[in-house]
Amino acid sequence: MNKNLYGFAALFKTPDEIIEAAKKTAEAGYQKYDIHSPYPVHGIDRAMKLKASKLGFITLVFGLTGSAIALLLMYWTMSVDYPMIIGGKPFFALPAFVPITFELTVLLATLATVIGMITFFFRFPENDHPLHDTEYMKKVSCDHYGLVIEAKDKLFNETKVRELLNSLRPLSIEEIYYPEKETYPVLETKFVTFLILIALLTSGVTYFALNKLLYMQPFTWMMDQPKLNPQKQSTLFADGYGMRAPVKGTVARGFLPYPFTGQNAPTDVLLNPYLPTKENLQLGEQKYLTFCSPCHGNFGDGDSRLRGQFPNPPSLHSTRAREFSDGMIYHIITNGQNVMPSYASQITREERWAIVNYIRVLQRAKNAKSSDLQVVNKETGTNASN
């Protein structure tokens, strides 16, 4: 047997022929063989008796690694090293961490799958593969189907392999040999000189382009633009300021500014334009728990979760708070009071009125009157007020 022999390659014309050839080769006990076709052939893996690929284990391991890295990084940065209080959420807010965890899991799993497939399974780049530039590879890349039995198979015998391939009635049988290896010394004088010249030329062109050319006309059009930069002086206006304040008294189209900003109490009566419907109360509960509960507590008792950071606010169930009008509560949310800042930039007007309705529900729940209690008559199914 020729030591340089890679194997025998046979060409077939139809998919049925290559599937039959794969079956016969597998039944003969050969392990080191492969099938080539211009497109994936359905059922060829079963005909070759291929085992399940181990590539999935690489995907699984690196995918779980990505999940662990993402969760540990976010836990450390946002829960341990620099805890962040956002709308009363817990430090380790797992639902908020899911998108980043998913992205890093997919990223590492995908990269590991591609890199593992190319490097460990296909051993790329392998530019000196014996099948390269052969007539066999040209045909199976176009409109033929091929079978290659490698010489390193334990059962390989030239006579028996030829007999097997001939029994399959191929179009042709070709002997594939390993190419002769050629060595090229890297540190030749000409090659080293060429690299030095390329490095000098690249460095010179880059220096000239970035430090000289960009400061010449007409390439300065990006740098010298007729514009006003923030915090820069301007000769266009008499006061010399480039940044201009909005024209006094102007408002956005379709929007009226809040007229009681800075006042302790509204000078006019503010009426609640929203009825306490189920949808409105659900919206009020959602916004209350997000923006109000960190200080006022989930039920308005003033039991702040931010103890030591801010003074606890008064209870919303005090007589004074219950006697506030809806407009006064709305005004406090909009304007702020004492150490409580304004939430006008964070909560819309509709959401503020919804919070007012929800606060009324909390107050009534903890200060219910006898007329609010109802007993269901089990016999008639009607409500009877006590």
Q: Which tokens belong to 64? A: 């779980």
pLDDT at residue 1 is higher than 60? no
pLDDT of residue 218: 86
User: What integer pLDDT is reported at residue 138 of this predicted model?
Assistant: 93
> 306 or 76, which is more confident?
76
Is the CB of residue 153 less than 8 Å from the CB of residue 30? yes
| Highest mean pLDDT of the ranges 144-148, 258-262, 307-311 | 144-148
Hey, what are 36's tokens? 């080539």
* Model confidence at 53: pLDDT above 90: no
Q: Which is more confident, 372 or 74?
A: 74
**pLDDT of 376 over the 60 cut:** no
149-174 pLDDT tens trace? 999 999 999 999 999 999 999 999 99
Q: How many residues does the chain have?
A: 386
State pLDDT tens for residues 186-211: 788 888 999 999 999 999 999 999 99
pLDDT, one tens digit per residue, over 14-42 is 999 999 999 999 999 999 999 999 999 99
pLDDT at 67: 96
Q: What whole-number distance in Å separates Cα of residue 284 and Cα of residue 353? A: 8
* pTM of the model as a whole: 0.43
Structure tokens at 271: 């009426």
What is the C-alpha R_g of the chain? 39
Average pLDDT, the chain: 87
Structure tokens at 247: 């024209």
For 359, other C-beta atoms within 10 Å of its C-beta total 23
Q: What is the mean pLDDT of residues 295-314?
A: 80
Separation CA 189–CA 140 (nearest Å): 43
Distance of CA 97 to the CA centre of its chain: 11
* Of the candidates 23, 26, 3, the residue with the CA atom closest to the CA atom of residue 15: 23
Write down the residue that tokens 């090659």 correspond to.
Answer: 191
Question: Does residue 177 contact residue 159 with C-beta atoms inside 8 Å?
Answer: no
Name the superfamily (CATH) of residues 278-372.
Answer: Cytochrome c-like domain (1.10.760.10)
For tokens 């609010």, what's the residue? 372
Alpha helices, H only, 169-249:
189-211
Res. 104 pLDDT band, cuts 50 70 90: very high
For the record, the structure tokens of 379 come out as: 């016999």
Of all residues in the chain, what percent carry a pLDDT higher than 90? 47
* Sequence spans of domains, the chain: 1-181, 183-245, 278-372
325 CB neighbour count, 10 Å cutoff:
15
Give the HSE-up count for residue 254: Cα atoms under 13 Å, Cβ half-sphere.
Answer: 0
pLDDT tens digits, 180-190: 877 777 788 88
Stretch 63-92: mean pLDDT: 87
Query: Cβ contacts of residue 211 below 8 Å, gap of 6+?
Result: none
Judged against a pLDDT cut of 70, whether residue 345 lies above it is answered with yes
